[in-house]
């Protein structure tokens, strides 16, 4: 009966009520002056008595982990061996880490738990990283094209003759400090907790029964940072920071689908990042897993069909309306939380922001990060079928030097479904 020992306990342990005994979990003091005073965030399930957070590790992948345990393929008591997993590049600490309002959607100590919470780990607490930092090379055909066209030149450091670019990449899982999230949206913590509980079908009862637990690891996707050039330039006022904040679009980013401008924007952003890095600065690509404006890919594809089948064809003046008809809203990306990553990286000024989205730049400025210059995508990099999206965005007030007229917006520029 070897496999029995790897299964969860036979009786269900409800974490929704703390029980009579004194809690064994360490407190979390968000924004405290030191890491030890802040305390570790413990959401692992190998010893539920130590938990001081709601939810489970790994974002949306927590559900696969639960399935692996249920299927008997993973021990419920497996504790990760963190030998040699420490960051390949030091990041922080920065003053922003110790301000409870600046970072509310990630754990600033998420990459250094083995170091700053070594004592807790030694005492048998299963503290897990929520951030991982590694190094790699990336190679994209558009960067090789840019080298051929003479827009980029190899320097042997950031960009190699082969077209490979050297990057530091950082994976970040969401860790929400509930009072801080509520404050960001101007609602009460109670309203936030109740909304999250009820509209996930009652997935996390502790949201409404355990107001003593202030940290929640939501089952959503996280983000990845690609850093090009010297990370020391991020906090050096004399060196420039270029940045592309990119929200995931699998169809375009990976498969090259031409209905939108996502991949051209991404590769143009990386190109600008490389140029700034080569100019003694640093480039940042923040890749957020928020598919289809965080409405999801099913909604997105439904909207594509609705756009192409509507009377008058696919045109800019009905672009946002069709999205709202299907999803009920135009956008659920909540850019209010996006700037946290800049505070984590210690960035206070972005010299070159490669984006036309005012939603993004406004959110960054509201968070107290200066933006010096906003760089639009050059027209020659926009695919033909994506002209509808570009016109709709410009007309909706996205950053652009030239705003299209009402007449132009009513012209169908997108392909039909079978073209």
Binding stretches for Zn ion (CB under 5 A): 249, 252, 260, 262
Query: 9-45 as b/e, with b when 16 or more CB fall inside 10 Å?
Result: eeeeeebeebeeeeeebbebebbeeebeebbbbbbbb
How near is the Cβ of 262 to Zn ion at its closest, in Å?
Answer: 3
Min dist. Cβ of residue 287 to Zn ion (A):
13
> Would you tell me how many other CB atoms lie within 10 Å of the CB of residue 108?
26
Antiparallel, parallel or unpaired: β 370-374 and 223-229: unpaired
* Nearest to Zn ion of 249, 338 (CB atom): 249
Beta carbon of residue 59, minimum distance to Zn ion (angstroms, whole number) = 22
Name which of 419, 124, 123, 105 is nearest 288 in CA terms. Answer: 105
- DSSP secondary structure code for residue 159 in this structure: B
Q: How far is the CB of 82 from Zn ion (least distance, A)?
A: 36
Question: Residue 127 contacts by C-beta under 8 Å, 6 or more apart in sequence?
Answer: 40, 41, 42, 44, 113, 117, 120, 121
The H or E element containing residue 242 is strand 241-247
Please say which residue, 256 or 410, places its beta carbon nearer to Zn ion: 256
If the CB atoms of residues 169 and 290 are measured against Zn ion, the closer one turns out to be: 290
Report the alpha-carbon distance of residue 192 to residue 188 in Å, rounded.
6
Smallest Cα–Cα separation from 270: which of 257, 258, 253, 255? 253
Q: Which is nearer to Zn ion, 15 or 267 (CB)?
A: 267
Residue 248 Cβ, how far from Zn ion at the closest point, in Å? 9
Bridge partners of 298?
none
Candidates 193, 315, 333, 352; catalytic one: 333
Q: What would the two tokens of residue 340 be?
A: 């946290």
Annotated catalytic residue within 331, 351, 385, 415: 331
Q: Which is nearer to Zn ion, 95 or 256 (CB)?
A: 256
Nearer to Zn ion, 252 or 361 (CB): 252
Q: Is 293 a catalytic residue?
A: no
* 331 belongs to the catalytic site: yes
What the block records as the tokens of 186 is: 């101007």
Q: Give the full edge-to-edge strand order of the sheet including 176-177.
A: 53-55, 215-217, 176-177
Tokens representing 181? Answer: 């999230």
Catalytically active residues are 331, 333
């Amino acid at each position: 009966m070897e496999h029995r020992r790897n299964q969860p306990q036979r009786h269900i342990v409800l974490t929704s009520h703390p029980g009579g005994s004194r809690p064994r979990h360490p407190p979390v003091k968000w924004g405290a002056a030191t890491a030890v005073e802040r305390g570790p965030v413990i959401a692992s399930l190998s010893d539920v008595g130590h938990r001081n957070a709601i939810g489970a590790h790994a974002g949306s992948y927590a559900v696969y982990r639960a399935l692996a345990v249920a299927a008997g393929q993973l021990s419920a008591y497996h504790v990760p061996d963190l030998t040699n997993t420490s960051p390949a590049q030091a990041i922080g600490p920065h003053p922003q880490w110790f301000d409870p309002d600046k970072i509310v959607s990630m754990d600033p100590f998420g990459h250094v738990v083995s170091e700053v919470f070594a004592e807790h780990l030694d005492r048998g607490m299963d503290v897990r990283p929520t951030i991982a930092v590694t190094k790699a090379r990336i190679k994209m055909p558009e960067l090789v094209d840019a080298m051929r066209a003479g827009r980029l030149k190899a320097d042997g450091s950031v960009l190699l003759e082969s077209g490979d670019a050297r990057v530091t990449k950082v994976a970040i899982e969401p860790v929400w400090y509930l009072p801080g999230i509520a404050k960001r949206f101007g609602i009460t913590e109670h309203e936030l907790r109740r909304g999250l509980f009820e509209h996930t079908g009652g997935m996390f009862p502790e949201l409404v029964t355990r107001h003593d637990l202030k940290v929640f690891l939501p089952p959503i996707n996280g983000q990845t940072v690609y850093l090009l050039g010297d990370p020391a330039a991020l906090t050096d006022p004399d060196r420039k920071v270029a940045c592309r904040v990119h929200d995931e679009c699998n169809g375009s980013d990976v498969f090259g689908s031409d209905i939108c401008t996502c991949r051209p924007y991404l590769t143009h952003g990386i190109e600008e990042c490389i140029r700034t890095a080569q100019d003694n600065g640093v480039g940042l690509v923040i890749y957020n897993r928020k598919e289809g404006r965080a409405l999801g890919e099913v909604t997105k594809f439904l909207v594509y069909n609705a756009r192409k089948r509507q009377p008058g064809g696919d045109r800019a003046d009905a672009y946002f309306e069709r999205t709202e008809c299907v999803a009920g809203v135009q956008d659920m990306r909540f850019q209010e939380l996006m700037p946290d990553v800049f505070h984590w990286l210690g960035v206070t000024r972005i010299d070159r922001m490669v984006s036309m989205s005012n939603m993004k730049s406004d959110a960054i400025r509201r968070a107290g990060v200066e933006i010096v210059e906003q760089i639009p995508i050059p027209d020659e990099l926009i695919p033909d079928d994506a002209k509808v999206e570009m016109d709709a965005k410009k007309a909706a007030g996205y950053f652009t030097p030239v705003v299209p007229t009402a007449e132009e917006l009513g012209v169908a520029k997108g392909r039909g479904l079978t073209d």
